Amino acid sequence: MRPSAITALFLTLIAPVLAQYNFSSSPFRLMIESQNSTLNGTVLGACHENAGIEALCPVGSTLDDSATSVTTFYQNVSYFRDSSNSTVNTPGLLCWDLYLGSLGAISSPMYLNTMPNSNVATPIISTGRTILQRVVFDECGWLGIQSYLDDSSAPPARRLKTYMNWMVCTTYFSYTMETLAWVLGSEPIMPQNPTCQRVLVKRVFIEP
């Protein structure tokens, strides 16, 4: 490899770590859209998995209820696209504030927890991670993840596509419970966990 190619590869791989991701979007809630009317319109909340570790669970309330700290998220990006501080289509960290009494709020980012034997990953919120999952929100507020193409080009192309492989499944991390999940792979999206129901996740800003 030419040195410039090596540098480019190096920068690609470590960019998520080097970038600051210290500009916060306005706070928002995450609403589920589903064919299942029980899930449709419910919002996601941080739910306890372990000390300082949370998954995202449908908390059964709707947007008609007032936002609580459990259902309040924000996105940290490295740059704002314009003076209105828009974060549309800007990759960044999905963050949630863990309140620790007198220590105050600890900004906690999301990563995807994978298991070697499954194509179903669980989004987990934790402060103790260096490999984090960047997410994007499109013009309509739908939550996605961008990744490089490797299913339709050889060799894999350094061309980003946005995927929305969200599910609500009964998962196990520290507890068995119903959480947001992500199916690894591209179309067709086929979770091996039989409890999974396909959903979309929408950002709804919290009115000040």
Ligand X SMILES: *[C@@H]1O[C@H](CO)[C@@H](O)[C@H](O)[C@H]1NC(C)=O
Q: Which residues bind ligand X (CB under 6 A)?
A: 20-24, 33, 35-41, 76, 80, 84-85, 93, 95, 107, 109, 178, 197
Least distance (Å) between residue 170 CB and ligand X: 8
Query: Closest CB to ligand X among 121 and 181?
Result: 181
- Shortest distance in whole angstroms from residue 119 CB to ligand X: 20
How would DSSP label each residue in 25-36? PPPEEEEEE-SS
- The distance of closest approach from Cβ of residue 16 to ligand X in the complex, given in angstroms and rounded to an integer, is 11
Q: Enumerate helices (H) and strands (E) in the chain, giving the number of each.
A: 1, 15
What is the C-alpha to C-alpha distance for residues 34 and 198, in angstroms, rounded to an integer? Answer: 7
Q: Which tokens belong to 96?
A: 């949630």
The nearer residue to ligand X, 95 or 120, going by C-beta atoms, is 95
Nearer to ligand X among residue 10 and residue 80 (C-beta): 80
Q: Is 103 helix (H, G, I), strand (E, B) or coil?
A: helix
Residue with tokens 């991670």: 129
d(C-alpha 183, C-alpha 188), whole Å: 10
To ligand X, the closest distance from the beta carbon of 35 in angstroms equals 5
Query: How many other β-carbons are positioned within 10 Å of the β-carbon of residue 74?
Result: 20
Measured from the CB atom, the residue of 22 and 89 that comes closer to ligand X is 22
